[in-house]
Structure 1
Amino acid sequence: EGLNNFDEILEASDGIMVARGDLGVEIPVEEVIFAQKMMIEKCIRARKVVITATQMLDSMIKNPRPTRAEAGDVANAILDGTDAVMLSGESAKGKYPLEAVSIMATICERTDRVMNSRLDYNNDSRKLRITEAVCRGAVETAEKLEAPLIVVATQGGKSARAVRKYFPDATILALTTNEVTARQLVLSKGVVSQLVKEINSTDDFYRLGKDVALQSGLAQKGDVVVMVSGALVPSGTTNTASVHVL
């Protein structure tokens, strides 16, 4: 029933957890992987957080090493585009909780290194909205310039997630004055959120973004960075992408 109404559930949700254990009870086991891929894909398109969970490293409840199939399962979820992978029994009641967390982190880091940006993602004939077009252009610009960082001004998090949707090689630094947004963006893959007191103008954003980029170590002096913001438009709309040298 949840799968049949997934679009409505997604629209009403801040994010989705793909709980494969529950899915395996409700649908045939051979269908679970396809349901997982469908849900992750739709979450990315909708710019919603998606977490993949249940039995990811299940054998580590009793054993110090995962099976090769489990390692592949974690990597596959990351390649599909999930924002986060989650342990449950492995860390809650398993004999090797620290090892499970460490191995999962290692798999995540290794898989991230082979992921490419998805600039052809949603590359169809439909007309893009302004925010989407600007964010896509920012990712393409960052790729062409080999910029290590894309700095985004965001109030509710949508602009940062619109950039993340294309899986840039660059880290995404999201500056926000909204504490809730700063916390929520922690779950978004590839996004580093930074709470700031206020952003009074575009020039203020550029100054803040450069300062935070350098202070955080996400970029170095002389690096090219792409900065994304909304200028002279209502909150929620992004219409400007610019290139800066630190």
Structure 2
Amino acid sequence: MIRRTKIVATIGPASGHSEMIAKLLDAGVNVFRLNFSHGTADGHRQQVAIIRQVCASKKVHAAILGDLQGPKIRIGDLRNDAVTLVNGEEIILTIDQSRGEDDDRIPVGYKALPQSVATGDTLLLDDGLIELSVSLIVGGDVHCSVQVGGELKSRKGLNRLGGGLSAPAITEKDLQDIDLAAELSVDYLAVSFPCCASDLDPVKRRLDDLGARIGIIAKIERAEAVANEQTLNELILAADGVMVARGDLGVEVGNSQLIGLQKRIIRQARRSNRPVITATQMMESMISSPVPTRAEVFDVANAVLDGTDAVMLSAETATGKYPVKVVMAMADACVGAEQQPDTRISGHRVDDRVENISESIALSAIYAANHLDNVKASLCLTESGATALIMSRLSSSLPIYGVSRHPETCRRMTLYRGVIPIHCDITTNDEEGYQQALLSVTSTGAIGLGDRVIVTSGDITGTGGMTNTLKILQVKGA
């Protein structure tokens, strides 16, 4: 059975060499994530070269996603790199770095902290593992009582329950990493901690100045980003895709609210024709265990049932002991969920009117594929991949083959749910072009003689967004 949900794997010390990249591709990875929070520019250059070389040798397509560090608010460097906080203990968070060595003070790099919090606020450290309650604010010091203690290490994250701590959207390091992403021609660039649509503008301007065609993924991880429908919708529409970044988002809104938010973000992203990635702690136990827990399998499966395009692995493949096994386990969970009847039924936009011909053709193609007997696949002849993306918004058990002459379009389509990219140098959308596309798919063994295939294309080649033709063809012998 063809797996429709895509897998994003983070590259790190456990997975960066060519042999492991090849194994991860065989196991089912579709997108490789480079975490710009770690590593060096030269290290990332080497990594991209390895991924592209292995993909070329295996004749497969895989996208590369660069992930900006963003303005994550962190505590500073601690004496001996760690401190143990005890329940009921009184501590002080200080913006005065010179006093960070005092026994009762923890330095914080966020200068606006005293003005951003109030007595009674709950502050969360290290992804919510440590909980503090604000009791007093004096100058640059925020006095807190420890509600949930534990070992705190240097440079761990700091959040306020309910949100409200925010720094400039793009840092100087991010600007350097955007330049690097453009140099490496990564396919997607994830922007961390945007609160609203305008937070993406500096990234867009930088990429435009560099002449880089890179899809922007907005990471939804701030409480402000989901505070109301309008803000969320504007942020989704401003991006080329979104990520449900459940780590910081869960810390800021609370885990109980995260369940509904995940479903809401995925639903709105799909309605807006944007691909969506679900991320964070999906199979975290497999960092050290060769098998996932049932809860983790359920978590992945529920994201699939919610309609996510992709599920993401972080430390599991970056530093974990079992990178290949965790990808295989995730792939199995996706396939299991996709066998449920609900994943093959779509009410996507059935009562809505559409504004352009390309979208009408795309929606009509999947409707025909789902309702006409003996249809085995949909073929989308595409320049930009836009029609294939719209087709992928509808649920179906049939594969969508995105056939393009542009390698970068093929790589971008690897993120779209149910879309299988095929590189084929088609320059004419006529009978010859259709037969060339059919041959490129039949050569994979996916379709055979007598099968019906839905084909979409446009009259004008070389221009994206011009799809205006739908044909139903039957595969014939030579």
TM over 0.5: yes
Q: Distance in 1 between matches of 2:429 and 2:349?
A: 32
Q: Does 1:190 find its partner at 2:413? A: no
Deviation at 1:61, TM superposition (A): 2.3
Q: Which runs of 5+ in 2 are unaligned?
A: 1-223
Q: Distance in 2 between matches of 1:213 and 1:21?
A: 40
Deviation at 1:166, TM superposition (A): 0.7
- Residue deviations 1:97-130, cap 9 Å, x none? 3322221111112222225434422222434532
Cα distance change on mapping 1:146 and 1:240 into 2, 3 Å: same
- Indicate the larger mover: 175-184 or 76-85: 175-184
Residue correspondence of structure 1 range 68-217 to structure 2 within 5 A: 68-115=294-341, 116-127=343-354, 129-143=356-370, 144-217=372-445
Q: Distance in 2 between matches of 1:98 and 1:183?
A: 21
Q: Which runs of 5+ in 1 are unaligned?
A: none
User: 1:43: which partner in 2?
Assistant: 269
**Mapped contact 2:279–2:312 kept (Cα < 8 A):** yes
- Indicate the larger mover: 79-88 or 190-199: 190-199
Structure 2 length-normalised TM: 0.49
- Residue deviations 1:196-226, cap 9 Å, x none? 2232233233112211121122211221111
User: 2:256: which partner in 1?
Assistant: 30
Q: Counterpart of 1:244 in structure 2: which amino acid? A: L
Q: Distance in 2 between matches of 1:10 and 1:185?
A: 18
Q: Distance in 1 between matches of 2:426 and 2:442?
A: 19
Q: Distance in 2 between matches of 1:78 and 1:146?
A: 26
Q: Compute the RMSD of aligned alpha carbons.
A: 2.0
Q: Distance in 2 between matches of 1:17 and 1:127?
A: 26
Structure 1 length-normalised TM: 0.91
**Mapped contact 2:424–2:437 kept (Cα < 8 A):** no
- Residue deviations 1:12-54, cap 9 Å, x none? 2222111111111211111112111111112212222211111
Q: Distance in 1 between matches of 2:446 and 2:291?
A: 33
- Indicate the larger mover: 17-26 or 232-241: 232-241
Instruction: Tell me the percent identity.
Output: 35
**Mapped contact 2:271–2:348 kept (Cα < 8 A):** no
Bigger fraction of residues in helix:
1
**Mapped contact 2:453–2:473 kept (Cα < 8 A):** yes
Q: Counterpart of 1:210 in structure 2: which amino acid? A: L
* Rg comparison, structure with higher value: 2
**Secondary structure of residue in 1 paired with 2:450:** coil
Deviation at 1:159, TM superposition (A): 0.5
Q: Does 1:241 find its partner at 2:470? A: yes
Q: Counterpart of 2:305 in structure 1: which amino acid? A: L
**Secondary structure of residue in 2 paired with 1:173:** strand
Q: Counterpart of 2:472 in structure 1: which amino acid? A: V
User: 2:226: which partner in 1?
Assistant: 3
